[in-house]
Amino acid sequence: EPEVTQTPSHQVTQMGQEVILRCVPISNHLYFYWYRQILGQKVEFLVSFYNNEISEKSEIFDDQFSVERPDGSNFTLKIRSTKLEDSAMYFCASADDTYQPQHFGDGTRLSIL
Amino acid sequence: AQSVTQPDIHITVSEGASLELRCNYSYGATPYLFWYVQSPGQGLQLLLKYFSGDTLVQGIKGFEAEFKRSQSSFNLRKPSVHWSDAAEYFCAVVSYGGSQGNLIFGKGTKLSVKP
């Protein structure tokens, strides 16, 4: 069964540095999402992406964050000038329609020191 | 605003016992509802979904869920729990605040299974 893959599985970064989290969605999917889960808290929506542009974003997704689909397969989340509170598990998801189930990757655990 | 409530943070059941995990949602119209499971260190795996039609939906791994509009609930059930079911379970609803299918999750219920 096709899967969403995320790299790296764990990223450790110094506060203030930039990080790029990478995702390869399922190949025929058109809708892409990023969520995050701070330790012990619920999964929160960050941003959705369709047709090479952001469709929606939450209030969490401020100017520090950006997303890109640099080629036909990758979907990236960039976090500029990381803060301690950015430490979380970040999940990428994809779907072939807006109301079809989203398929999630295994996540990238981001640790900011 | 839409929300999903999972009132039980942690549940422990004995292997072979039945299980029911509770989920309540707030939304005016018929929601699109999901249950996901997260094993330690893993991503979110879809267990089942409800879009419309039959209110009792079957999922993978022997799970089922029943949509009850009158109670705004979508509880997850399994008749006989296996040790491998120990994980965290998340109920989610598609957000109608926008149009791109963003999910709103509950806080999750951690399931422990004792031998």
Q: Of the candidates A56, A52, A57, which has an alpha carbon nearest to the alpha carbon of residue A70?
A: A52
- Chain B segment 59-98 residues within 8 A of A by beta carbon are 90, 92, 94-95, 98
Tens-place pLDDT, residues B95-113: 765 566 789 999 999 999 9
Contact flag B103-A31 (C-beta cutoff 8 Å): no
Please indicate if any CB of chain A lies within 8 Å of the CB of B33: no
Residue B43: per-residue pLDDT: 86
Q: Exposure string (b/e) for A54-72, b if CB count within 10 Å is 16 or more?
A: ebbbbeebeeebebebeee
What's the CA gap between B61 and B81, in Å, rounded? 10
Question: What are the distances in angstroms from CA B100 to CA A5, A36, A75, B97?
Answer: 21, 17, 17, 9
- Residue A42: both structure tokens together: 């619920």
Q: Among all residues of chain B, which has the CA nearest to that of A54?
A: B100
So what's the pLDDT on residue B67?
94
Give pLDDT tens digits for A15-49.
999 999 999 999 989 999 999 999 888 899 999 99
Identify which of A32, A18, A8, A9 has the alpha carbon closest to the alpha carbon of residue A92: A32
Give residue B28's pLDDT band: very low, low, confident or very high (50, 70, 90). low
A50-104 residue pLDDT tens: 988 999 999 999 999 999 998 878 999 999 999 999 999 999 999 988 778 899 9
